[in-house]
Structures are given as structure tokens and as C-alpha cells.
Amino acid sequence: MNDGNLHAGIPLPPFDPVGLPAPAALILGLAYLTFTLHLVAVNFTLGSVLLMVWARLRPDPAREDMARFLGTVAPLGFSYLVTFGIPPLLFVQLLYGQFFYSSSVLVGAFWISVIPLLILAYGALYAHRLTRDGRPGIQGPILWAALLGMLAIGFLYVNNLTLAMTPGRWIEMYAAHPSGGTLNLGEPTILPRLLTFLGLSPAMAGVVLWARGRRLQGATGREAVATATQSAGRKAVGIGVGVWVAGVAAWVATLPDGPRTLLLGGGTWTVAAAAAAVLVLAALLPALLASRGPTPAPAVLSGTALVLGLASLILVRDRVRMEYLRDFVALPEIPVHPQWGMLVLFAVTLVLGVAFTVFWLVRVVRRVPDGAAPSSR
């Protein structure tokens, strides 16, 4: 099954001789969890940048406060989105390396440019933060650099990973561009797919703003800012959800028959897809109904719905990927040489590390006064 020669004309490499260090299902699970966290961070950071751009359009004290807050947390969001991006990429190379490495080389010249783009976007976010008091003049361009950089990276990812799922295109592409100076533009699902991943970003940043706005109500003398922040956050949630739902619909529509029937055929996966939509839409309810109040509860509720919705969509996406690749690989048939010891070591480190970090996070945050943006001075 993992012998490339089975597929005449498709130079699919064989599976790695070392085999899998743990059952595929387990690895798939880890990939799934970390990828969900990754996407949450992506959406939050991208959303923050979008909202900062919006806040610059017609600046007023409230918007400047929002931009200042988002500008402080965006670099942190970015560094976590990268960090949480690592394990899913690691695990996908473990399971689907035959496909991923091949497609990466085919678009190599563009794929490697993800790195300079990362540095550009991340550096821009820090530059934006460190120059905001000194040189406000260059803030706009810097912000746009960050935004375009992030969008370009998202596009390149979707481009490469859709190519990984369509080995039929490989050989012609390589023969024409052995230096990887080409992209998988013939793929109709790319833009819709990008929307399913990024559409929620205004909403993700929105709920955070909204929660902050509600916290601010406590702080005296900042009621105006608090109100503006809350309504901005709630609007952003609405917009995000709208864009996302449209994106998912377009994605399902552009899928090839196999995967599409899987999602529309009325089976388990139809339910899962529907559940994703319902959860995300549910995030609107608190945003529409919640009354003013100092507790961040409704925002938290809305945010949870968003995360769960996104999570279920990723589950669906994983299944769709298997459908794409059903002729080429069946994960359960890959030889497994388990490294239980290492797995335990990993799990223990994870638990201890997270516990330690959270302990100190709480300890530090407790000292930060309400409503103050975390700052370095």
C-alpha cells in the first residue's frame, strides 16, 4: 500500500523505512489538538492586526486604546501561533511525509519564502510596538507589512498542502519547474479553504476585545472606552462568523466529488460539519443578546463556541484529507515501531512544563492591575 510503484505515472515515494513511532491514531490526535491551538492563535493574531488596521482608519481615544492593547499582545500571539504551528507540522510530516515533502519541493522557491515572510511579519509587529511612542508616522506601513505577510504565509501553506493531496499534478509541475518556482494555482479549493482557516480571525480578536471592554467597565473614568471596545468586539464577532460561514460553504462546494459526497451524503461527517457550523453560529447569540456588565462571561461563552466550532471543522478537514488520499495511503497499514518510553517522556514533560508555566503565569498576572495592558516598563 505504501509502495509508490503501485501508481503508474505518479512518483509517490515509499513510506519512511523507520516506520511510525506510535499508532497513527495517536499521532493524528496530537496533530489535531496542536493544530487547533495553532489556528486559534493564528486567528487571534491576524484578527488583532485587522482590528488595528481598522482602528487606524478613523482614530479616536477609544480606538487608540484598543490598538494599543492589541499592539501589545499581537507579537505574543504571533510567537505562540508559530510555536503551536510546529507540532502539527511535525506530525503531518510523520504521517503524510511522502506527500508533504514532495509537494514542498515542487513549490520550493515559494515555500522557503515563508521564512523571510515570517520574520517580516513578526518583526513588523515588534517594530510596530516599539515605535508607537517614538515614530507614529511609520506605524501604518509597518502594520500593513505584517498583515500582508501573514496573509501571504497562509496562502502559501494552503497552496502547498492542497498540492500534497493531489499527487496527480506532481510530475508535470516538477518537469516544468525543477527549481520549485511555481504554485499550485489550478486548485479551486485554495481560497475557500483559506477562508475556513482564517475567516474567524476578526471574531477571535473580537471576543478578546469584548472581554477587555467588560473588564474596563470596572475601571473608573474609562466608561467611554469600555463601551466602544465592547461594541467593536461584538461587531467583529459578527463579521468574522459571517465571513467564515461563507468560506465553509464555498469550500464544500469546490471540493471534488469524493470528499463532497462524504460531507453532504448525510452520514456521520455531515453531522460533524453541521455541528461545526451550528457551534460557530451559536457564538453570535451572546454577542447579540448579552447585556452590559463587568463580567467577561458572555465573551468567554462566545469565544468557547468559536473555538469548538473551529475545532470540529478541523476534525472534518482531517477526514476530508483521508478521503483525498484514500488511493495512496491507509494510515492503519503503516508499520509501527512504538517508542512508548519517549511518548511517556513527552507527556510528562508536557504536563510538568504547562503546570509550571501556568503557575508562574498566574503569579505574574495577579500583580498586573486591572485594565492595564501588560507592558515592559
Partner 1 sequence: MNYPVWDVPVLGAGLVVAIIAVFHVLVSHFAIGGGAFLFAAEWWAGRLVRSGRPEDGLRVRGFLHRYATFFLVFTTVFGAMTGVGIWFAIALASPEGTSLLIHQFVFAWATEWVVFLVELSLLYLYYYGWKHNRREDQVFLAGAYFVVSWFSLFIINGILSFMLTPGGWTIENRDLAAAFFNPSYWPSLVLRTVTMGLIGGIGGILVAGRMDPGDPLKARVVRFSAAFVVPAAFLVPLLFAWYWSTLPEGTVQMVQEGVAGLGGGRLTAITRHLVLAGVAGSAVMAGVLVAVFRPRVVTTGAAVALLLMVQMGLMGAEFFREMARKPYVLHGTLYSNSLWRRDVDAGPSVLKAPFLQRARWHPAVEEMSPEHGEWVFRLQCASCHTREGYRDIASRTAPWTPEFAFQWFETMHEPGVMPPFQGSAEDRAALAAWLLNLHGRTLDGRDVLRAAEKAANPAPPPAADPLLPREAQP
**Site residues for partner 1, window 320-359 (CB under 8 A)?**
337, 339, 342-343, 345-346, 349-350, 353-354, 356-357
Q: Give the containing element (helix H, strand E) for 332.
A: none
Q: With contacts defined by CB under 8 A, name the span among 13-21, 133-141, 213-221, 256-264 that binds partner 1.
A: 13-21
Distance CA(305)–CA(19), nearest Å, equals: 38
Among 32, 101, 144, 155, binds partner 1 (CB under 8 A): 101
Query: For the purposes of burial, counting CB atoms within 10 Å of the CB of 289, is it exposed (0-12), middle (13-18) or buried (19 or more)?
Result: exposed
Closer by beta carbon to partner 1, 161 or else 276:
161
Q: What secondary structure, in 3-state letters, does 118-154 show?
A: HHHHHHHHHHHHHCCCCCHHHHHHHHHHHHHHHHHHH
Q: How far is the CB of 247 from partner 1 (least distance, A)?
A: 27
Among 36, 104, 230, 302, binds partner 1 (CB under 8 A): 104
**Judged by CB under 8 A, does residue 118 bind partner 1?**
yes
Closer by beta carbon to partner 1, 90 or else 278:
90
Q: With contacts defined by CB under 8 A, name the span among 96-104, 206-214, 251-259, 285-293 that binds partner 1.
A: 96-104
Among 70, 106, 190, 280, binds partner 1 (CB under 8 A): 106
In the structure grid, which three cell numbers stand for residue 208, read together?
478578546
Among 23, 29, 123, 188, binds partner 1 (CB under 8 A): 123
Closer by beta carbon to partner 1, 31 or else 273:
31
258-287 binders of partner 1 (CB under 8 A) = none
**Judged by CB under 8 A, does residue 130 bind partner 1?**
yes
Among 11, 59, 136, 258, binds partner 1 (CB under 8 A): 11
Q: With contacts defined by CB under 8 A, name the span among 50-58, 114-122, 235-243, 307-315 that binds partner 1.
A: 114-122
Q: How far is the CB of 123 from partner 1 (least distance, A)?
A: 5
75-94 binders of partner 1 (CB under 8 A) = 76, 79-80, 82-83, 86-87, 89-91, 93-94
Distance CA(24)–CA(292), nearest Å, equals: 48
Distance from the first to the final alpha carbon of the chain: 59
Q: What is the DSSP string of 204-252?
A: HHHHHHHHHHHHHHHSTT-HHHHHHHHHHHHHHHHHHHHHHHHHHHHHH
Closer by beta carbon to partner 1, 253 or else 342:
342
Report the greatest alpha carbon distance in the chain.
72
In the structure grid, which three cell numbers stand for residue 132, read together?
508607537
Strand partners, 336: 20
Closer by beta carbon to partner 1, 54 or else 174:
174
Q: What secondary structure, in 3-state letters, does 286-298 show?
A: HHHHCCCCCCCHH
48-77 binders of partner 1 (CB under 8 A) = 76
Distance CA(312)–CA(315), nearest Å, equals: 5
Query: Each residue of 224-236: b (16+ CB within 10 Å) or e?
Result: ebbebbbebbbbb
**Judged by CB under 8 A, does residue 24 bind partner 1?**
no
Distance CA(116)–CA(125), nearest Å, equals: 14
Amino acid making up residue 296:
P
147-186 binders of partner 1 (CB under 8 A) = 170-172, 174-175, 178-180
Q: How far is the CB of 369 from partner 1 (least distance, A)?
A: 8
* Contact flags string 284-323 toward partner 1, x per CB under 8 A: ----------------------------------------
Interface with partner 1 (CB under 8 A), residue total: 73
